[in-house]
Chains A and B, each alone.
Chain A
Amino acid sequence: MIALEVKNLRKTFGNLVAVDDASFEVPEGSIFGLLGRNGAGKTTTIRMIMNIYLPESGEVIYKGIQSGPEFNSKVGYLPEERGLYKKMKVIDTLNFFAEVKGKTGRTVAKKAKEYLERFELADRANSKIEDLSKGNQQKVQFIATILHDPEILILDELFSGLDPINTNLLKEIILEMKEKGKVILFSTHIMDFAEKMCDHIAIIDKGKIKLNGSMRDIKKKYSQGNVSLNYEGDISFLSGHPLVEQISDYGNTTGIKLKNADESQDLLKLLVERGINVKRFDANDISLQEIFIDTVGKEKNNGGAL
Chain B
Amino acid sequence: MINYRTIAVIKRELKEKLLSKGFIIMTIMLPLLMFGFIGLQTFLMTFDGGERQKIEIITESEELGKKLETELKDYEFIKDSSVVSSFITMDSGALTSYLEIRNDDLISESLSGIMFIPDSALVNKKIYYYSKAPKSIRMLDRFNGPINKVLVETYFSTRDIPPEELQFARMNVDITKFKISEEEGIKEEGFGNLVLAYLFTFLLYISLLMMGSMMMQSVIQEKTNRIVEVLLSSVTSRELLAGKIIGSTITGVLQMLIWLSPVIMLISTTWFALPEELTLDVTGGQILYLLINFLIGLATYLGLFGTIGSIFDSPQDAQSGMWPIMMLIIIPFFISMSMIENPSNPIAGISSMLPFASIIVMPAKMTLVDVPLWQFLVSIVVNLATLILIFPVAGKIYRVGLLWTGKKPKWSEVIKWIKYKY
* A is bound by B: yes
Asked if A24 is at the interface (CB within 8 A of a chain B CB), the reply is no
Whether the Cβ atoms of A82 and B226 lie closer than 8 Å is yes
Question: Among A99-107, A162-170, A217-225, A237-245, which stretch is in contact with chain B?
Answer: A99-107
B231: CB under 8 A from chain A? yes
Looking at the assembled complex, report how far the CB atom of A264 sits from the nearest CB atom of chain B, in whole angstroms: 47
Given A53-B422, A69-B5, A92-B15, A75-B233 contact (CB < 8 Å): yes
Contacts of B302 in A (CB 8 A): none
* Cα of A102 to Cα of B227 in the assembled complex, Å: 18
User: Does chain A have a CB within 8 A of B132?
Assistant: no
Q: How many B residues, CB 8 Å from partner?
A: 22
B16 interface residue per 8 A CB criterion: yes
Residues of chain A in range 43-83 having any CB-CB distance to chain B below 8 Å: 47, 50-54, 56, 69, 72-73, 75, 77-79, 81-83
Given contacts A56-B421, A99-B11, contact A50 B225 (CB under 8 A): no
Which secondary structure characterizes the binding site on chain A?
Answer: loop
5 additional contacts (CB under 8 A) given A84-B230, A92-B15: A79-B233, A84-B227, A85-B227, A99-B8, A100-B234
Residues of chain A lying within 8 A (CB to CB) of residue B5 = 69, 100, 102
In the complex, chain A residues whose CB is within 8 Å of the CB of B232: 50, 52
Assuming the A-B contacts A56-B421, A83-B225, A85-B227, are A50 and B8 also in contact, with contact meaning beta carbons closer than 8 angstroms in the complex?
Answer: no
CB proximity to A under 8 Å, residues B226-254:
226-227, 229-236
Across-interface contacts of B271 in A (CB, < 8 A): none
Whether B4 sits at the interface, judged by CB under 8 Å, is yes
The answer, among A84, A100, A144, for a CB contact under 8 Å with B9, is A100
Q: Could you say which of A54, A86, A96, A141 contacts B8, with CB atoms under 8 Å apart? A: A96
Complex CA gap A92/B234 in Å reads 16
Which residues of B have CB within 8 Å of A56?
421
Give the nearest-CB partner of B231 in chain A. A100
Would you call A77 and B12 a contact (CB within 8 A)? Answer: no
Min CB gap A30→B, angstroms: 21
Residue of A nearest to B224 (CB): A83
Asked if A97 lies at the interface with its beta carbon under 8 angstroms from chain B, I say yes
Name the residue among B230, B233, B422 with the largest chain A CB count within 10 angstroms: B233
In the complex, whether A298 has a CB less than 8 A from a CB of chain B is no
CA distance A97 to B229 in the complex (A): 12
**A87 on interface, CB distance cutoff 8 Å:** yes
Verify A97–B16 contact, CB threshold 8 A: no
- Residues of chain A with a CB closer than 8 A to B236's CB: 51, 69
The 10 tightest CB contacts between A and B, nearest first, are A83-B226, A77-B233, A99-B8, A100-B234, A79-B229, A83-B225, A81-B226, A100-B8, A83-B227, A52-B232
13 CB < 8 A contacts A-B = A50-B232, A53-B422, A69-B5, A75-B233, A78-B230, A83-B227, A83-B230, A84-B225, A84-B230, A96-B12, A99-B11, A100-B8, A141-B230
CA gap between A77 and B4 in the complex, in Å: 19
Flag if A54 contacts B422 (CB, 8 Å): yes
The distance in angstroms between the C-alpha atoms of A99 and B231, with both chains bound, is: 11
In the assembled complex, how far is the CB of residue B18 from the closest CB belonging to chain A, in whole angstroms?
Answer: 14
B contact residues around A101 at 8 Å (CB): 234
Q: Name the A residues within 8 Å of B29 (CB-CB).
A: none
Q: Which residues of chain B are within 8 angstroms of A87 by Cβ–Cβ distance?
A: 16
Check B230 against A102 for contact (C-beta < 8 Å): no
Q: Give B6's nearest chain A residue, CB to CB.
A: A100
> In the assembly, what is the distance between CA of A87 and CA of B227, in Å?
12
Q: Which of A75, A82, A92, A96 contacts B229 (CB 8 A)?
A: A82
Question: Which residue from chain A places its CB closest to the CB of B421 in the assembled complex?
Answer: A54
A52 & B16 in contact (Cβ 8 Å cutoff): no
B28 close to A (CB within 8 Å) = no
B389 on the interface (CB 8 Å rule)? Answer: no
Point out the residues of chain B lying under 8 angstroms from A83, CB to CB: 225-227, 230
A141-B227 Cα distance, complex, nearest whole Å: 10
Q: Find out whether the CB atom of A72 lies under 8 angstroms from the CB atom of B233.
A: yes
User: Beta-carbon contacts of B1-38 to A below 8 Å, as 1s and 0s?
Assistant: 00011001101100110000000000000000000000
Asked if B403 CB lies within 8 Å of chain A CBs, one says: yes
User: Contact at B4–A79, with CB atoms within 8 Å?
Assistant: no
With contacts A69-B236, A102-B4 known, is A52 near B11, CB below 8 A?
no
A79, B230: Cβ atoms closer than 8 Å: yes
Given contacts A53-B422, A54-B421, contact A73 B234 (CB under 8 A): yes
Q: What's the Cα separation between A17 and B104 when bound, in Å?
A: 82
Chain B, residue nearest A145 (CB):
B230
Chain A residue numbers with a CB within 8 Å of B421 are: 54, 56
Nearest residue (CB) in B for A156 is B229
Q: Which residue of B lies closest to A73 (CB)?
A: B234
Q: Which residues of A contact B422 (CB under 8 A)?
A: 53-54
Contacts of A88 in B (CB 8 A): 16
How far, in angstroms, from A101 to B421 measured CA to CA in the complex? 25
Q: Are A50 and B4 in contact (CB under 8 A)?
A: no
Contact B225 A97 (CB under 8 A): no
Contact with A along B207-229 (1 / 0, CB 8 A): 00000000000000000011101
Q: In the complex the two chains form, what is the Cα distance from A56 to B9 in whole Å?
A: 29
With a CB–CB cut-off of 8 A, which chain A residues contact B4?
Answer: 99-100, 102
Binary interface profile of B, 114-130, with partner A (CB < 8 Å = 1, else 0)? 00000000000000000
The contact of B230 among A53, A73, A77, by CB within 8 Å, is: A77
Which single residue of chain B is at the shortest CB-CB distance from A53? B422
A100 to B232, CA, bound (A): 10
Q: For A97, what are the chain B residues with a Cβ–Cβ distance below 8 Å?
A: 230, 234
Q: Name the one of A53, A100, A144 contacting B235, with C-beta atoms under 8 angstroms.
A: A100
Task: Give the residue among A51, A99, A144 with the most B Cβ atoms within 10 A.
Answer: A99
Shortest distance from the beta carbon of B240 to any chain A beta carbon, whole Å? 9
Mark out the residues of chain B between 258 and 287 whose CB falls within 8 Å of any chain A CB in the assembled complex. none
CB proximity of B269 to chain A, nearest CB, Å: 40
CB-CB nearest in chain A for B239: A69
> What is the bound-complex CA distance between A196 and B102, given in angstroms?
100
Please, which residue of chain A has its CB at the minimum distance from the CB of B218?
A85
- Of B229, B231, B235, B236, chain A has the most CB atoms within 10 Å of the CB of B229
